[in-house]
Chain A
């Protein structure tokens, strides 16, 4: 499937097969989750990042089913570049109505970046002015976990983490995704 038809598929799923909801409710709910974690963990932002990633991972494991059903995608992605395309144009489009740009491919085609021009989770957000949050907190870290969990369900072990975030004062919001390996069907996922 070509990249353009992917984009069309994403649009179509969003327009015709997606029940929608007030975006502000999602944004504020996510905000409440992050703020509460920061409080519960007493400003240990490294741990907050970890928890957000974990929550996202749990979501990813379940979300893939919804994704496959709605997108009606039959065949597996041919390669990791293909996968990147689907994540951006169909996955993000379907759930968050955004299409992050794919950039910065590594020469071996195993690493790429998602560039977020928009990020509905971070609308209204300014990080705490405590001299720490802007250096340590990845506010939208749940998204990394979602990708990691969802791809694991389709036999791909990846590493996903943010490397830039406009909330930290950077000029871009960038998530780096690296393929670790394709998981063999015979082996249990946690067997390393």
Chain B
């Protein structure tokens, strides 16, 4: 039997609902090979699911002071988890099973990488993040925790 088909879609969203970075990962857990297994129509849906969860987040962000809001929305079999930074940048992860703690750890690493990006004077809030090192580190974090 083939390894796990669990796949993740991750997107960082700026303060104007603009995507700053996106990536897909497969899992390395349960014999997975780390390659995302989204079918074409699902890939397209992912963006819409992420986008439509923004309304839920806007409500939740005033009800909780946590940065990690855990799962904020669900669409069919897809869960949306969210981490909200102090500067109102959203990290969204779409996944097909609940696992709050590993996702928290993943988001914590992402926040570290985001802060490092922001500390660079040539980066401005809401700019797309195109650093290859950033991309590699995000994928390494996904491999480690997801």
Interface residues of A (CB under 8 A from B): 28, 30-32, 34-35, 38, 124-129, 133
Contacts and interface: CB of A to CB of B under 8 A. Distances in A.
A107 B34 CA distance: 60
B62 interface: no
Nearest to A34: B121
Given A124-B119, A125-B120, A129-B130, 10 more contacts: A28-B119, A28-B121, A30-B121, A31-B121, A32-B121, A35-B122, A38-B122, A124-B120, A126-B122, A126-B131
B116 interface: yes
Nearest to A127: B122
Contacts of B121: 28, 30-32, 34-35, 124-125
Contacts of A32: 121
Interface string B11-32: 0000000000000000000000
Nearest to B120: A126
Nearest to A29: B121
Contacts of B116: 124
Interface residues of B, number: 7
Contacts of A28: 119, 121
25 contacts: A28-B119, A28-B121, A30-B121, A31-B120, A31-B121, A32-B121, A34-B121, A35-B121, A35-B122, A38-B122, A124-B116, A124-B119, A124-B120, A124-B121, A125-B120, A125-B121, A125-B122, A126-B120, A126-B122, A126-B131, A127-B122, A128-B122, A129-B130, A129-B131, A133-B122
Contacts of B120: 31, 124-126
Contacts of B130: 129
Interface in B90-138: 116, 119-122, 130-131
Contacts of A31: 120-121
A126 B131 CA distance: 10
Nearest to B121: A31
Contacts of A35: 121-122
A128 B120 CA distance: 10
B111 to A, nearest CB: 16
